[in-house]
């Protein structure tokens, strides 16, 4: 099987490098011609992964048709809000029956759909899988040990793709709960912004631990209401990813929250998917009668402009209750 990666940012480059490190030819498509030229001439992606050498068998291209030529497995590493239009560009170039592996995390703001539903609408007839879990692009690109989850509606497909895409340092666990993997991956981004804001306000390690723990309660409640299985949410793509993304500024969502807490300008920060998912996640929770005060707090900071200090003060002033009610 031939593998192509669509998306030349940090995560797409890291996944392509991981597969190419064993000498397997992998094509990496990047829309930015300068990034492609830099990868070809320097052997690294200086914009997104500076200082990390990329294997020679990773071929960077700027032509979508060339990138997808003969590809049986296509890793889509694209922002959730850009995915629908990108699928329309991909459609004429995809090989019939090519498996599509979704590697980004987010909720489409206009529809409330996860990525798999968007792709199934735009590219029917292609097997769809989702890949998610606690993983920093720099770790994967450097060949450091990482474990993630890959889910497809058919267990055999998930197992086959997991076997095909794994490497000695990149362990993939197969599953069939697509929605659970997507819910965990999307909601943890929103919660990481709250964790970053707490750190930016200097609220301390105890407050951060409380936010992560209570945030997971919200992730579990809303995820299950959306149809996710509890065991998936407790796994790598749920709890595991939440722990990692709330661990420090290497996480883009945590870094964004950190800047909010410090009152800094966020306009120059790298893309943080939680920024686009917060309002729709809060809406989904309200529609299902799910209490999600941390998610609501992040939405208020981002969409209503509520200062982080005021938002956190209001969160902490909520009436006391039993822990597991």
247 in a known ligand binding site: no
Quote the CA–CA distance of 318 and 44 in Å, as a whole number.
49
270 in a known ligand binding site: yes
Quote the CA–CA distance of 85 and 212 in Å, as a whole number.
34
273 in a known ligand binding site: yes
User: Residue 318, CB half-sphere, CA atoms under 13 Å: how many?
Assistant: 12
137 in a known ligand binding site: yes
Quote the CA–CA distance of 161 and 179 in Å, as a whole number.
18
What DSSP string runs through 298-313? HHHHHHS---HHHHHH
3-state secondary structure of 212: helix
Of residues 65, 20, 68, the one with CA closest to residue 45:
20
Of residues 308, 233, 305, the one with CA closest to residue 294:
308
23 in a known ligand binding site: no
Encoding tokens for residue 70?
A: 């003969």
The order of strands in the sheet holding 26-29 is 58-61, 26-29, 3-6, 73-76, 99-102, 128-132, 146-152, 170-175
251 in a known ligand binding site: yes
51 in a known ligand binding site: no
Contacts of 58 (CB under 8 A, 6+ apart): 13, 16, 17, 20, 26, 28, 39
Asked if 188 is an active-site residue, the reply is yes
11 in a known ligand binding site: yes
171 in a known ligand binding site: no
271 in a known ligand binding site: yes
189 in a known ligand binding site: no
135 in a known ligand binding site: yes
Quote the CA–CA distance of 200 and 213 in Å, as a whole number.
18
Quote the CA–CA distance of 295 and 34 in Å, as a whole number.
37
- Active-site entry in 19, 21, 84, 188: 188
105 in a known ligand binding site: yes
Encoding tokens for residue 241?
A: 């990813």
321 in a known ligand binding site: no
252 in a known ligand binding site: yes
202 in a known ligand binding site: no
What's the N-to-C CA distance of the chain in angstroms? 50
188 in a known ligand binding site: yes
Check: CB of residue 158 under 8 Å from CB of residue 129. Answer: yes
Quote the CA–CA distance of 281 and 271 in Å, as a whole number.
18
Residue ranges of the annotated binding site for sn-glycerol 3-phosphate are 105, 133, 135, 188, 241, 251-253
Residue ranges of the annotated binding site for NADPH are 11, 31, 48, 105, 137, 252, 271, 273
Residue ranges of the annotated binding site for substrate are 105, 252-253
Residue ranges of the annotated binding site for NAD(+) are 7-12, 137, 252, 270
Residue ranges of the annotated binding site are 7-12, 31, 48, 105, 133, 135, 137, 188, 241, 251-253, 270-271, 273
Residues annotated catalytic, as ranges:
188
């Amino acid at each position: 099987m031939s593998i192509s990666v669509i998306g030349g940012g940090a995560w797409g480059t890291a996944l392509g490098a991981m597969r190419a490190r064993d000498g397997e030819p992998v094509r990496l498509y990047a829309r930015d011609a300068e990034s492609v030229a830099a990868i070809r001439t320097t052997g690294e992606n200086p914009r997104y992964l500076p200082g990390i050498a990329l294997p020679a068998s990773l071929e960077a291209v700027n032509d979508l048709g060339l990138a997808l030529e003969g590809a049986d497995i296509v890793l889509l590493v694209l922002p959730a809000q850009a995915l629908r239009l990108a699928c329309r560009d991909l459609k004429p170039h995809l090989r019939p029956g090519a498996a599509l592996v979704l590697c980004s995390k987010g909720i489409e703001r206009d529809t409330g759909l996860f990525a798999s539903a968007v792709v199934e609408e735009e590219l029917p007839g292609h097997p769809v899988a989702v890949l998610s879990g606690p993983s920093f692009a720099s770790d994967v690109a450097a060949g450091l040990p990482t474990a993630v989850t890959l889910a497809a509606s058919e267990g055999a497909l998930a197992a086959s793709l997991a076997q095909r895409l794994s490497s000695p340092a990149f362990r993939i666990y197969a599953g069939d709960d697509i929605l659970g993997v997507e819910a965990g991956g999307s909601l943890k981004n929103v919660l990481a912004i709250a964790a970053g804001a707490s750190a930016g306000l200097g609220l301390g390690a105890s407050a951060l631990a409380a936010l992560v723990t209570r945030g997971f309660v919200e992730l579990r409640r809303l995820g299950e209401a959306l149809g996710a299985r509890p065991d998936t949410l407790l796994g790598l793509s749920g709890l595991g990813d939440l722990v990692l993304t709330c661990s420090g500024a290497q996480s883009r969502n945590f870094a964004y929250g950190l800047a909010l807490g410090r009152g800094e300008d966020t306009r120059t920060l790298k893309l943080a998917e939680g920024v686009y998912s917060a309002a729709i996640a809060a809406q989904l929770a309200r529609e299902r009668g799910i209490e999600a005060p941390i998610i609501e707090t992040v939405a208020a900071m981002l969409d209503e402009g509520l200062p982080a200090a005021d938002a956190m003060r209001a969160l902490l002033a909520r009436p006391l209750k039993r822990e597991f009610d």
